[in-house]
Structure 1
Amino acid sequence: MAAEGCEEMSGNGELEESSAMDIAEVPPPPPPPPPPPEISEENGSAAVAPEAPVVPDPSSFSMPPAPEDEEGELPADFERLWKAAHDNPQDFTSWTDLLQYCEQESHVTASRRALEAFLIRYPLCYGYWKKFADLERRAGYNDKAEEVCNQGLRAIPLSVDLWIHYINLLLGTLDMNLPESPTRIRSVFEEAVAAAGLDFHSDRLWDLYVEWEKEQGNMKNAATVLDRVLNVPTQLYNTHYEKFKEHLNNHAPKEVLSVEEYEELRALSRQSQKAERAEQAQEEEKERPPGEEEPATPEGTDTEELMQKIRDQVLVRKDKVYQDNEGEVRKRWHFEDAIKRPYFHVKPLDRLQLRAWHSYLDWEIAELNRDSSDPAQDPNQVAAEGSEVTSQPQEKSEDAAVPRSDYRVRILFERCLIACALYEEFWTRYIQYLEPQSVDEARAVYKRACEVHLAYKPNIHMQWATFEERHGELTEARRVLEALEKSMPGLAVVRLRRAALERRAGQLDQSEALLREAVDESKEKPTLHAFYSIKLARLLLKVGRNPSRARRVLQEALEISPDNDKLHLNLLELEVSGDPWASAEAVQECVTRALAAPLAPHTKILLSQRGLQFAEDYSNSIQSVLSVYEAHQKLLNELGGTKRGAENGDEDPEKLSKSDDGSAVAVSEQVPPTMPHVPITTPPPPMMGTDMSSQAGYGAYSSWYQQPQYGGYGYQNTWNYNQSYYPPS
């Protein structure tokens, strides 16, 4: 497959089938520093803003008006490839073929149209956002290139590569001689580390930030950034500590520390130095020649010895931070090493990768629960918090309402939803995690999943509708189901969900209207028409308490599908469930209609048998019972032993099963319940002097009563009351 968002990217030095975890297995504790990743690697990572993790906003996935160009007509094959992609928008190969063709033709307008349409459907393909920005920059539209980067970062704010690309774009286009330019670059760096700086693979972003501050001559800011990253468990955590020590040793402490921290450490170092000198002076005084005075030291002078003491004091403090951070890295190392594809791709992930994400999430959530139950919270707070670089490295923002571990869980979910964006199970799990904390946040995740990544997955859309209904948002639940039905027309389950929603809301007229509309629209599809007709009839009968309207619906459906056995069964069940004194004629009429219809023999026997049972249960005269019985016997003779063959096990006919709500459905014949210690052998022989056809009078009932396991209880064939009640025919 060609250049699928992250692989085989041409022209921009993108990824070439690489993984963000291509590092050697490291035995803990602690793991040695792994080799730095290549500059082209994308981590597909997630991070957190000062108040909540930065998440994409689907409503922002719209491109600004494209600048006009004068390139004339589109390339020859553009329309063909464009149509192929839009006719089947889920076919990723069609889109990449279109994008490659536009790139080969070097046509700005065609490329712009193709990229805009593609990125609306696949916004997690960070490589194509970079291609789009480079396209606009080469065409001379720097503002448009910047806007493309912003669009991409709103869609995938967790991409370290895209942040670096955006920053490099600004560095190449802004006039750094203007005083506002450095301020803007620093602001973008802060946005970047807030969004992606807490990721395990965010080292390149932090390094770029530090180096840029050094180039600006802001050694204190560079030290502040290094101090912040010392609190973040990243892949190259130990190299950041080495760089901090190198930075501290290469500059005077006054140049890299805040004024407050410098004065505090300077005072402590002076006291320590004075104590050491006093002790040394006492020893030297014993050996100094009589009359010689101690050499004077100028007041206020910071000697190199004092500077080194200050550095030592700083490192003593930072070493504790480093040790704590190393412990965090060690705990996550094997989870991170198991993730081989942290970026988005349409190719399915194997089971090991899916299991690796689930295991990582399980562990991180368990850490959250452990921290929540532990009154002594981990001092490792979120280092990326704070909207601007300060001159006090030791100060960090703390939000008591959102503990560190909750940030970590959210970060991991956001990372997971990049690599596993096409898997409903991870979206559902994230929503289940967020819903107890914030219904709005859970709703936002549903919106991202259903409107961007899983537009053609009906299950999660219906879960969203259920979520909204459960929280009282009936209007939104209706909108979700209507949008799903519009995008995926013909799904019966969606129409039934809509009708059920209106019924639960007390809108019976609207529920009936939805089902009746489905009945009217499906007349060209008899099976679907019968299905909707049965649903509408049941609603009218059981909820609307209107059997006459329900009967009319089924009768109209039978005019279109006279061979549909389920319609006949449901109409018969409707009749027998009414007033038995007024339904006798309607029941026999229903049976007569079914016997005249092109139905299977076993279905006709089933319906006739049901009519016989109704007559036996509710008829006022023995003559009417015998009349129905004789008609049933005649039917059995006409069908040539079909029923007897079925009873002997030669066929597997469908039998009538009555559900709890009284509706009739066709189900497969099931073996009657058996006693564990009595095996079923062959059926018992018929009673002497009886006709086998008379035993079929009630079919399944007589057969059930004759099962051999009941012989052990002394019941034998005396249960078959049909044999002694009706005379042989």
Structure 2
Amino acid sequence: MAAEGTEDPSNNGELTNPLGLHEPEVAEPSKPDVELSSESAGNEDLGAPALPYTAEGQEEEEGELPGEFEKLWKLTSENPLNFNIWTDLLQYCEQEGHLRASCQAFNAFLARYPLCYGYWKKFADIERRAGHNIKAEEVCEQGLKVIPLSVDLWIHYINLLLGTLDMNLPESAHRIRCVFEEAVASAGWDFHSDRLWDLYAEWEKEQGNLKAMTAIYDGVLRVPTQLYNAHYEKLKTHLTSHPPLDFLSPEEYCMVRAEYKQTQKQAKKERSDIAANEEERPPGEEDPADDGKDSEEAVQKMQELILASREEVYQQNEAEVRKRWNFEDAIKRPYFHVKAMDRTQLKAWHSYLDWEMAEAEMISMDAERTTAEGSEESKKDYVAGHGRVLVLFERCLIACALYEEFWVKYIHYLEPRGVEDVRNVYRRACGIHLPYKHSIHLQWSAFEEKHGNASEAQRILESLEMVLPGLSAVRSRRVGLERRAGRLDVAESLLKESVQQSKDNPSLHAFYSIKLARFILKLHRNPSRARTALQEAIEISPDNGRLYQNLLELEISGDVRANEGAVQQCVAKALAAPLSPKTKIHFSQRGLQFAEDFGTTVQSLLSKYEDHQKLLKEHDGKRGAENGDNDDPEKMSKMDDASATGVQTAPPAMPHMAMTTPPPTMMGGDMSGSYGGYGSWYQQQYGGYGSYQNPWNQYNQYYPPS
């Protein structure tokens, strides 16, 4: 697989922040997942981040910027989402070496694409070539705050310090050592961190600090890395090239020496070959004094004991590496790039994460079982297992930073473990990499509200609405947030504002009008104002059946004895509107059913029935005319036969209703006309009254039922 240090031709970055370090809340404008409204379409640079990476105290060069730079800079301003235009600008700055232009370009680029570790390195080199060593260090430090798992950037930073610090000063060596410690703590658990560990060990060797060199190799011996075997070979060479006193800590040296002496005594006793001076002495006589020097035999034996203890750790680490090898081999692009990843790569990351989380869960269960026994080793294993999951997620969120699914997966893993950790992930995802992915912003807002931070939830939604103006999901969430907080006046004003602003978009205007009407009716108990809101919307969108449906529901929900006229007036208005024939049939049927259930006169009921039959015949006639050429002769013959034998068929308007047995004729005589026919029809249809809403299930997609 590709090694971690292998740079992509575009020098793109490596990793996000596994330690939760502070990051500037800037927006890397990935491709929006929604269609922007006309208001935002003319402003492509909306939500562009500020330039937070400028080194403090930086003095800009005087004079005008080069003309070619101004031309390229204008192109990036007009096309801020075009990655290639940015790289052309940065390449020009590198070639020309104009410091002011370079700082302006790199600051703007890295604010949008902070995971491109290669450009942090280039920016630092530009500052160093200009003689600004302190500023070059600051650039590296700022980059490492964003991608602390970047082995390449750590090595670049360390080499920068090694080339600029006066190593004759004792504080310089101390600073280098501190940076190395921070580097291995941040990036040392990466599978491709081998070069960092080797550089650290070699540097300590140059300093003549063999004990520190041993500690470094002991550390990497417990880390599953790609070159784990090479580290072990170097450790063995190191341990067999020097006496233990030189490379072991005092504590471990004493333990190894005592173990060696114990094994020697045990071996002599087993051979029953105890020398005279080794025989048991009288009470009060002490053992011969130890001169503190080890013989060659003692050195060799102690080295064997030391190697044996390391061999056991190595075997355990090798087992961990083997578990992960195939997963690592499947990852072909561990760096950041704006190009889309193929499905195979996305699946590889998902599989690896799922496996690592399952491993950590098993370790956690084992740790719980041994908690009663107080096993410190189990606790360490649990911490290591959780740490490996975190590192893997952070590695994944370099290559997959623009994929919302991995951020959400990370959040779900962290949520049971700590609120602040989840909050930090949301900040990074929404503030830097996914400024236009509204769904994860909505999740973040709900998360903050859930944990009692309503003001932050409100801020998140307001900021998102500035980036994606006119998005109904965001405005609806804002309304709900204000309503849950008890600020009904604010919630209503937001809906009214939406109604006013969406008049040029009839569908959206109808949506908000329905929202507003239901809000007023349900929370303010004011049917009159709700009715007005719907009637005003109908004037703008007379062909929107959902508006009539909600108006009808409003009238029916009131006092049916007082609202009979209003209900039938609403039905008549819908029948006169430019709605589809099927929609009109549904409204006519609803009016007929209302007349049957709550009508005050039978004349009204019969009138509604006759009107409904006419509407059915008109619809059936139009459908027959449209399909006349396709009529099946055999089917038509069967229908004629059925008519001849007097078999009654269901009305064409309700083809899905089950046929029921016609009721006996009422009031005697032939009741085939008017009410008698309605009685037969109604007997068939009334049992299906509860399914009346089925044709309106599509409405639920537009607006969920209350």
Calculate the TM-score normalised by the size of structure 2: 0.79
Distance 1:275 1:611, change over 3 A: closer
**CA shift digits 1:636-659 (9 cap, x unpaired):** 78xxx33444489959xxxxxxxx
Relative distance call for 1:199 and 1:271 in structure 2 (3 A) is same
In the alignment, is residue 247 of structure 1 matched against residue 247 of structure 2? no
Cα gap change, 1:169/1:584 in structure 2, threshold over 3 Å: closer, same or farther?
same
2:22 is aligned to 57
Tell me which residue corresponds to 1:319: 311
State whether structure 2 residue 137 is matched by structure 1 residue 160: no
Distance 1:624 1:154, change over 3 A: same
Supply the distance in 2 between the matched residues of 1:717 and 1:254 (Cα, whole angstroms): 112
For residue 136 of structure 1, what is the aligned residue in structure 2?
A: 127
> Which residue of the other structure, out of 642, 651, 656, is the alignment partner of 2:619?
642
Residues 687 and 537 from structure 1, CA distance in 2 versus in 1: closer, same or farther, beyond 3 angstroms? farther
Separation in structure 1 between the aligned mates of residue 270 and residue 590 of structure 2, nearest angstrom: 113
Report the equivalent of 2:295.
303
Match of 2:207 in 1: 216
Amino acid aligned to 2:178: S
Distance (Å, rounded) in 2 between the aligned partners of 1:601 and 1:273: 103
Question: 1:352 and 1:442 mapped to 2: Cα distance?
Answer: 28
Structure-2 separation of matches of 1:590 and 1:47: 59
Amino acid at match of 1:141: H
- Partner amino acid for 2:595? A
Distance 1:619 1:162, change over 3 A: same
3-state SS of paired residue (1:342): coil
Distance in 1, matches of 2:8 and 2:478, equals 48
Match in the other structure for 2:247? 256
User: In the TM superposition, what is the alpha-carbon distance from 1:717 to its structure 2 partner?
Assistant: 11
The letter for the 2-side match of 1:174 is: L
CA distance in 1: counterparts of 2:330 and 2:111, whole angstroms: 31
CA shift, 1:444, in A, is 1.2
The aligned runs of 1:467-482 (5 Å cut-off) are 467-482=447-462
Cα distance, 1:488 vs structure 2 = 0.9
Structure 1 residue runs without a partner (length 5+): 1-17, 22-36, 286-295, 379-395, 652-678
- Distance in 2 (CA, whole Å) between partners of 1:683 and 1:20 is 76
**Which of 593, 596, 620 in structure 1 is aligned with 2:600?**
620
Distance 2:664 2:330 in 1: 68
1:496 to 451, 457, 476: 476
Q: In the aligned structure 2, how far is the partner of 1:183 from the partner of 1:610?
A: 85
Confirm whether residue 346 of structure 1 aligns to residue 338 of structure 2. yes
Aligned AA for 1:318? R
Structure 2 spans left out of the alignment, 5+ residues: 27-51, 277-287, 371-375, 629-634, 679-706
The whole-number CA distance in structure 2 between the counterparts of 1:615 and 1:348 is: 60
AA aligned opposite 1:165: H
CA contact 1:56–1:448 (8 Å) conserved in 2: no
| Alpha-carbon shift at residue 172 of structure 1 (Å) | 0.9
Aligned to 1:391: none
Aligned with 2:307: secondary structure?
helix
- Partners of 1:420 and 1:727 lie apart in 2 by 67
Q: CA distance change for structure 1 residues 259 and 521 in 2, over 3 Å: closer, same or farther?
A: same
1:578–1:88 CA distance, 2 compared to 1 (3 A) = farther
How far does the alpha carbon of each residue in 1:147-192 deviate from its partner, in whole angstroms, 9 at most, with x for none? 1111100000010001000101111111111111100100000000
Q: Structure 2 matches for 1:320-469, cutoff 5 A?
A: 320-375=312-367, 403-469=383-449
Q: Is the CA contact 1:46–1:412 (under 8 Å) kept in the aligned structure 2?
A: no
The SS at the match of 1:436 is coil
Please say if 1:569 is aligned against 2:549: yes
Kept after mapping to 2: 8 A contact 1:223/1:244: yes
Q: Classify the secondary structure of the residue corresponding to 1:124.
A: coil
Q: State the distance in 2 between where 1:461 and 1:318 align.
A: 49
Once the two structures are superposed, the pairs formed by residues 141-290 of structure 1 within 5 Å of their partners are 141-270=132-261
**Which amino acid in the other structure matches residue 457 of structure 1?**
K
Aligned twin of 2:32: none
CA distance in 2, matches of 1:682, 1:555: 48
1:603–1:60 Cα change, 3 Å: closer
Shift of residue 132, structure 1, vs aligned partner: 1.0
Identity among equivalent pairs (%): 57
Please give the alpha-carbon distance, in whole angstroms, between the structure 2 residues aligned to 1:472 and 1:602. Answer: 48
Deviation at 1:528, TM superposition (A): 1.5
**1:58–1:451 Cα contact (<8 Å) kept:** no
Rounded Cα–Cα distance in structure 2 between residues aligned with 1:174 and 1:523: 66
Query: For residue 209 of structure 1, what is the amino acid of its counterpart?
Result: Y
1:655 equivalent in structure 2: none
Alignment of 1:586-597 (within 5 A): 586-597=566-577
Q: CA RMSD in A?
A: 3.9
Q: SS at the partner of 1:548?
A: helix
Is structure 2 residue 659 aligned with structure 1 residue 725? no
Give distance in 2, aligned partners of 1:573 and 1:282: 106
Deviates more, 1:162-171 or 1:97-106: 97-106
Match of 1:527 in 2: 507
Cα distance change on mapping 1:596 and 1:66 into 2, 3 Å = farther
Supply the distance in 2 between the matched residues of 1:97 and 1:56 (Cα, whole angstroms): 31
Greater percentage in helix: 2
After superposition, the Cα gap between the structure-2 partners of 1:191 and 1:606, relative to the gap in structure 1 and judged at 3 Å, is same
CA gap 1:43/1:629 in 2 versus in 1, 3 angstroms: closer
Note the alpha carbon deviations across 1:417-463, whole angstroms, 9 max, x for none.
11111111111111111111111111111111111111111111111
Are residues 143 and 60 of structure 1, via their aligned partners in 2, closer, same or farther at CA, if it must alter by over 3 Å?
Answer: farther
1:103 corresponding residue in structure 2: 94
1:20–1:340 CA contact under 8 A, matched in 2: no
2:3 is the counterpart of 1:20: yes
Partner of 2:536: 556
Contact map agreement 2:14 2:336 (CA 8 A) in 1: no
Contact 2:520 2:529 in 1 (8 A): yes
1:213–1:221 Cα contact (<8 Å) kept: yes
Cα distance in 2, alignment partners of residues 473 and 684 from structure 1 = 72
Tell me by how many angstroms 1:142 deviates: 1.1
Per-residue deviation, 1:716: 9.2
TM-score, with normalisation over the residues of structure 1? 0.77
- For the Cα contact (< 8 Å) 2:517–2:534, is it kept in 1? yes
The answer to whether the 8 Å contact 1:46/1:199 transfers is: no
Q: 1:278 to 1:431 in 2, by over 3 A?
A: closer
Residue of structure 2 in register with 1:25 after alignment: none
- Measure, in 2, the Cα distance between the counterparts of 1:475 and 1:300: 69
Give 1:588 deviation, angstroms.
3.5
State the alpha-carbon separation in 2 of the partners of residues 481 and 302 from structure 1.
72
2:697 matched to which residue of 1?
A: none
1:47-126 matched pairs, under 5 angstroms: 53-59=18-24, 62-63=52-53, 64-65=55-56, 67-70=58-61, 72-126=63-117
Structure with greater contact order relative to length (CA < 8 Å, sep ≥ 6)? 2
Question: Which residue of structure 2 aligns with residue 8 of structure 1?
Answer: none
CA distance in 1, matches of 2:260, 2:553: 96
Confirm or deny: 8 A CA contact 1:518 1:532 kept in the other structure: yes
Deviations, residues 377-427 of structure 1 (Å, cap 9, x unaligned): 99xxxxxxxxxxxxxxxxx99976962211111111111111111111111
**SS of equivalent residue, structure 2 residue 411:** helix
Name the CA distance, whole Å, in 2 between partners of 1:467 and 1:218: 50
* 8 Å contact from structure 2 (residues 353, 393) kept in 1: yes
Q: CA deviation at 1:535?
A: 1.5
Matched, 1:485 2:465: yes
Amino acid in the other structure paired with 1:725 = Y
- From 533, 536, 539, the equivalent of 2:519 is 539
